[in-house]
Amino acid sequence: MAESFDAVDIIRTKRDHGVLSAEQIAWTIDAYTRGVIAEEQMSALNMAILLNGMNRAEIAQWTAAMIASGERMDFSALRPVAGGPVNSSGSKPTADKHSTGGVGDKITLPLAPLVAVFGVAVPQLSGRGLGHTGGTLDKLEAIPGWRAALSNDEMMRQLQDVGAVICAAGSGLAPADKRLYALRDVTGTVEAIPLIASSIMSKKIAEGTGSLVLDVKVGSGAFMKDVTQARELAETMVALGTDAGVKTVALLTDMSTPLGLTAGNAIEVEESVEVLAGGGPEDVVELTVRLAEEMLEAAGVHGADPAAALKDGRAMDAWNRMIEAQGGDPRATLPVAKESETIYAPADGVLVGLDALSVGVAAWRLGAGRARKEDQVQAGAGVRMHAKPGAVVRAGEPLMTLLTDTPDRFERAKEALAEAVVIAPEGSRPDHQLIIDRIA
């Protein structure tokens, strides 16, 4: 059977700043999935897209083609809770959140059960960490018995009974993206905004959520290092979601310094539980509450007070049910690293800088992250921070504690942190704004 198009012609079109038609894009994704387009040809096309971009229609068509490569989930059978919100089709409303990744970003853990308190279903499909950014599933797997893999039926039951689920995405959602993502990773084309946006949004739209809040990170520990790039990515994803009928909002948030006081797996679960108990670091609480407010508004729930649900125990109750539904024991003792080493403040003053990338790399080198997808992580490894920017510190006071099961990792972790800390004279103030902008 003759093919409708030729891969070389499509590469040339984009190389020469041309616009690909909907038919060309649909064929490209399908042909690549079938193996008709070779890896080197798709690599060349990805590079042309990185260098020359795509217009809004092309990005939407590329996203639609990736969605069409697999299944789409449908949550219309979810029944609303008694007295709770109802969407336009008479079912339980759904809302999801996606973060572009950072250091210490454990927000999904307290956020999903918090939103579920208000009768909104949260189908949170998450991933594992790679490199210096942590993975939500790796964190939750530090809880004894908890499992990430659920069937679609199990997911639906949990959304109906508990209201929130955090699990691995099934292989049927946008399978073309899995191949494209792996190829981009090894060909220097990860940074292409059209490809990032379509990768994220194809999975989120196929997931079937009714509304979506995007947390687009900006700074050294984020994928996007400057605000201009991050805003372009956020605007592109909001447009894709809107065009697909998903109410979509994006927040640009700072990732120049880690979120909270922990970067690891078990220690981030521990900190998340502190937030659910009404405590925890101010920045984690602030971002959790703000994202919950955005998700609830997008789902049609107005005037809710998620901060109160953290304080009065409702969110903790939802967390316990969510963990138990996936085989975990929310009251079990979490793994603890066998070895620790402390880093001390070198001088008196105000901590004005704590570089997120450096902390993330250190946690990764200690065993909290992986260099390849097949690598194992240490549940107890990571970095526990004792001060955040703005704190007054004294020479010799603990700044960070490094945690690992393998002490020969300490040296390289400390190398990553060599330039991480900036201490200024007392009276100095850090230049730090957690929530930078909102795009809708």
Q: Which residues are catalytic?
A: 98, 177, 184, 199, 203
Q: What is the 3-state secondary structure (H, E, C) of the chain?
A: CCCCCCHHHHHHHHHCCCCCCHHHHHHHHHHHHHCCCCHHHHHHHHHHHHHHCCCHHHHHHHHHHHHHCCCCCCCCCCCCCCCCCCCCCCCCCEEEEEECCCCCCCCHHHHHHHHHCCCCEEEEEECCCECCECCHHHHHCCCCCCCCCCCHHHHHHHHHHCCEEEEECCCCCCHHHHHHHHHHHHCCCCCCHHHHHHHHHHHHHHHCCCEEEEEEEECCCCCECCHHHHHHHHHHHHHHHHHCCCEEEEEEEECCCCCCCEEECHHHHHHHHHHHCCCCCHHHHHHHHHHHHHHHHHCCCCCCCHHHHHHCCHHHHHHHHHHHHCCCCCCCCCCCCCEEEEEECCCCEEEEEECHHHHHHHHHHHHHCCCCCCCCCCCCCEEEECCCCCCEECCCCEEEEEEECCHHHHHHHHHHCCCCEEEECCCCCCCCCCEEEEEC
Q: How far apart are CA 160 and CA 158, in angstroms?
A: 5
Main-chain dihedrals φ then ψ at residue 321, nearest 5 degrees = -65, -40
For the chain, the maximum distance between any two Cα atoms, rounded to a whole number of angstroms, is 74
